[in-house]
Amino acid sequence: MSGPAAGTAVAATTTDVVCLGESMVTFLPSQPGRLADVPSFGRGIGGAESNVACALAAAGHRAAWVGRVGADGFGDHLVETIASYGVDTSAVRRDPFRPTGIYFRTATDRGTDTHEVAYYRAGSAASAMSPANVPYEELFAGRILHLSGITAALSDDCLALLRELTAARPGRPLVSFDVNHRPHLWRGGDASVLLELARRADLVFVGEDEAEEAWGIVGAEAIRAAVPEPSVLVVKRGSAGATVFASGRCPGPRSSNAGGAENAPGARSTEGGGAEDAAGPRSSIAGGAECGGAEDAAADATGPDTVTHVPALHVDVVAAVGAGDAFAAGFLSATLRGLPVRDRVRHGHLMAAAVLTVPGDLTEPPARDHADRLVALGDDAWGTLRLGPGWTAADRASEEVRTP
């Protein structure tokens, strides 16, 4: 395995979140119907991790995407488009021998029987990512490293890479892992490896439906029992909202002046590590709000979880794609800001609502002050909030509150 040179260090963490994974060019249908019947397609981009990076950058954070694309026109389009959102793409590698992945999809909800997706990603440049060819200095230079289970399904080398990046080591940034179970990618494979990876992360996003399908585990409490190690576990429950399990040992993202690349695989640490270093240096806002609020700050590190449930919003859905990535971006954004768990989930719901009310995977998020006003609503007002196309442009949160 090849890593950064021994003794390599960065003087300061200049990136909030680094996202690693495959991004592809996506072809969106010009009208509803079967792929066989759609006459034309518009070009866009799609990729769970790059979607998160784009949403975070659009929300004002310093985000980077690390991936591998072909030395082709589709690769050019991907890198240029992702960079246009303000994402740092300087660590993206170009592969002269393998193509950039592409896919076509229908306009229907991914969860319905009529939804079709045709992937052309076998042997793609991204599937060649491995522990030997990724830029560890860039991957470990952020406050948060965001990964997903999609990468693990691309190839044995990609799975080995995720195991390397989720391994416990001094100075590791907070590792965020979205399970993102895609059944078609695991045909003939063992999706239980996603459980292994989730247990190695600090912050995990998983849907109740995918936990049941991939692991045979039913219900939020049972999921937490199977994934006890992460400091924060976010169980997404569809229209029922989301439930968060936050432990008293909750580590925050590394502070912006803490180095991390010196502790990447293959690098020699410049300091002796204590027990607290096993999860990475704590930021100045770790504990307290960083672990979800005063109630979590008072929790014993070995005590029970603080469990927070936040209802979902009423949304007039245009296209049910990209919502999970947007939710993760909203949650991570609020985590970086040190907000309480309830507010993190609400920001996740709002970011997801922004994507659900447009045709593609990406959109401009609501202005921060607008989102903050909505997040601050009382429970009753939150419960009557209904969001439709164009809601992110509203000037006042009160204009969005109406009975569904």
Contacts of 352 (CB under 8 A, 6+ apart): 315, 323, 324, 326, 327, 330
Calculated CA dihedral for residues 157, 100, 66, 41, nearest 10 degrees: -130
DSSP E strands: which ranges in 21-111? 24-29, 41-46, 63-66, 68-70, 93-95, 102-105
Residue 354 host element (H or E): helix 341-356
Q: Given the residues 95, 178, 325, 343, select the one marked as catalytic.
A: 325
Q: Which of 9, 126, 145 is nearest to 64 (CA)?
A: 145
CB-based contacts of 75-80 (< 8 A; 24+ apart in sequence): 75/100, 75/125, 77/25, 77/43, 77/45, 78/23, 78/24, 78/25, 78/45, 78/50
Task: Name, in order, each residue with C-beta under 8 angstroms of 252's C-beta and a sequence gap of 6 or more.
Answer: 174, 282, 283, 285, 286, 287, 290, 291, 335, 338
Is 325 designated active site?
yes
Residues that are catalytic = 325
